[in-house]
Structure 1
Amino acid sequence: MQELLGKYLNYLLIERGVAENTLEAYGRDLLRFASILREKGFTDIKQVMPEVVIEYLVQIKNEGLSANSINRSMAAIRGFYKYLLREKIIEETPLANIELAKVWMRLPDTISKEEMNLILAQPGVETAATLRNSAMLELLYATGIRVSELIGLKMNSINWQVGFLVVMGKGSKERIVPIGKTAYDCTKLYVERSRPQLMQGKSTDVLFLNRFGGKFTRQGFWKILVGYAKKSGLQKKVHPHTFRHSFASHLLEGGADLRTVQVMLGHADISTTQI
């Protein structure tokens, strides 16, 4: 891989006439990329899959690199793979569908898994209200749905047998989103124990009920979420979209396919959407 990098940098210098500063920056970015690939056990450039590139981008983001530096690194890697395609060293590039990365790294509104767990641990399950709050937070993080979608859920929005949500998103587009076991168990417990109390004898098919037995407003849920974020001791500003951004970011960190994340978020074109 080092030999290929050397050839590519010579190509940029001699054939493309790239400025010395740019060449040095690209060289540093590509050497860092190659070093991380070696650490992960990759010896052949053809073995590198899109998930590996995403993991690399997430890693350098977590190291504190600015959005501009990350985008420059992305440009360096993309250029390197274009060169490899042109020289017929590879037949396809793992960056073909990674348009998201350039947009994604500009999103400051994410928290780590550890920080997310701190918030999720705050409500508890002692009362009807706290169990409901736990279920709402768990479901929001586990599915990445919008707050408007969360408060709009009906009793028949969840398929309990299979474990997925049927969500009505923007433009009345319906999508199916799987629910993780923790969120599933918590929501089921809420439905069995808390919801009957919160209904106050009323008849409604709304899944999550406020203290009056009615549907939540976005502002009402926002206050609950922000309250738990402060209680957790986090210094960052956290709001409902933080959960959505973090859901997608954590999926990508885990190697999820970009198309899968796109579908789960309900996006038509993930490369042009600021989630």
Structure 2
Amino acid sequence: MSAAADLLDLFLGYCVAECGLSANTIDAYRRDVVHFLRGMGAADDRDLERLTSARLVDYVEACRRAGLAPNSIWRRLVSVRMFYRFLLAEGLVRTDPLHVFRTPRLWRRMPDVLNTDQVDRLLEAPQGDGPLGLRDRAALEILYATGARAGELCGLDVGDLNFEYSFVRCYGKRMKERLVPVGRRAVEAVRGYLDHGRPALLRRPQEPALFLTRTGRRLTRVALWSRVRHHARAAGLGNAVHPHTLRHSFATHLLSGGADLRSVQVMLGHADISTTEI
């Protein structure tokens, strides 16, 4: 379960890092979504999934009765729709009660990427040989080595790794399977975690998840975002780094190294090559 406030922070971080929105726009989004969450009594992701279109109509009517101008109500709906689209894209909710309202598409711009020196600093940020440090180091290595989405990494099971042939099996959107090769550095990091980190976190012998929390459960997307941002700050990279930053960096470095666009498209799991071209 994820607190709605934490999900809002992730969304606003995305708006800064991926969409390049101004500080004023970010503040407006925050106010609009906070007002919506309070008005709907939504405290966590389960509440957000339980919201219906009928309740949304009630919210709009309440705004009208409170004297809000139609443009102000529309702006709030746009903000909340962007919030839900982000949550859906990240797999943090499964339903969108705002599908009955038509709003603009998400802004798109060239994604931010890290240079190779910055990537090295991030990958080396997890300190110590404790189970969580080993887990975070392995997770960062796999994110960069495979270009996996946050949800794909959290969904990895131990059986999705093949050390003999050095590849990882990822399940993308609509559970589409793809095999991605990984380098020695990532393999060694995962081996270290499996040998010395995961056993200390394991609570159920039959648990299939590769990356575990301190309570032995599958690592969540929210927790992964938090750990990536924590290590990015420790590496002096600021607050704008998130799992997708490593995905974009992976693709950019492959292309700059001479890989063809179609191969990178396959490794990223993009159905449309125009997405890879961004």
- The two structures have a TM-score, normalised by structure 2, of 0.59
Q: For residues 212-260 of structure 1, give each alpha carbon's deviation from its aligned partner in whole angstroms, at most 9, with x where no partner exists.
A: 0001111111111101101111246111110100000010111111111
Q: For residues 85-139 of structure 1, give each alpha carbon's deviation from its aligned partner in whole angstroms, at most 9, with x where no partner exists.
A: xxxxxxxxxxxxxxxxxxxx94232111111111111103421110110000011
In structure 1, which of residues 144, 160, 165 is the aligned counterpart of residue 168 of structure 2? Answer: 165
Residue 116 of structure 1 is matched in structure 2 by 119
Tell me how far 1:203 sits from its aligned partner: 2.8
For the pair shown, the structure with the greater C-alpha radius of gyration is: 1
Residue 229 of structure 1 is matched in structure 2 by 232
| Residues 201 and 215, structure 2, Cα contact 8 Å, conserved in 1 | yes
CA distance in 1 between partners of 2:157 and 2:204 (Å): 17
CA distance in 1 between partners of 2:269 and 2:198 (Å): 28
In structure 1, which of residues 125, 136, 139 is the aligned counterpart of residue 139 of structure 2? Answer: 136
AA aligned to 1:253 is: S
SS of the residue 1:175 aligns to:
strand
Answer yes or no: is 1:126 the counterpart of 2:133.
no
- In structure 1, list runs of 5 or more residues that go unmatched: 1-104
SS of the residue 1:263 aligns to:
helix
| Residues 264 and 276, structure 2, Cα contact 8 Å, conserved in 1 | no
Tell me how far 1:202 sits from its aligned partner: 4.4
Aligned length in residues:
171
Answer yes or no: is 1:271 the counterpart of 2:278.
no
CA distance in 1 between partners of 2:242 and 2:277 (Å): 16
- In structure 2, list runs of 5 or more residues that go unmatched: 1-107
In structure 1, which of residues 177, 188, 197 is the aligned counterpart of residue 180 of structure 2? Answer: 177
CA distance in 2 between partners of 1:215 and 1:204 (Å): 9
Residue 240 of structure 1 is matched in structure 2 by 243
CA shift in 2, pair 1:154/1:254, >3 Å: same
CA distance in 2 between partners of 1:159 and 1:273 (Å): 26
CA shift in 2, pair 1:274/1:170, >3 Å: farther
CA distance in 2 between partners of 1:217 and 1:239 (Å): 14
Q: Percent of aligned positions with the same letter in both sequences? A: 46
In structure 2, which of residues 194, 197, 205 is the aligned counterpart of residue 194 of structure 1? Answer: 197
AA aligned to 2:272 is: D
User: What CA RMSD, in Å, does the superposition of the two structures yield over aligned residues?
Assistant: 1.7
Residue 206 of structure 1 is matched in structure 2 by 209
- The two structures have a TM-score, normalised by structure 1, of 0.59
Q: For residues 178-236 of structure 1, give each alpha carbon's deviation from its aligned partner in whole angstroms, at most 9, with x where no partner exists.
A: 01110011001111111111003543011110000001111111111101101111246
CA shift in 2, pair 1:108/1:266, >3 Å: closer
The runs of 4+ residues in structure 1 deviating greater than 4 Å are 272-275
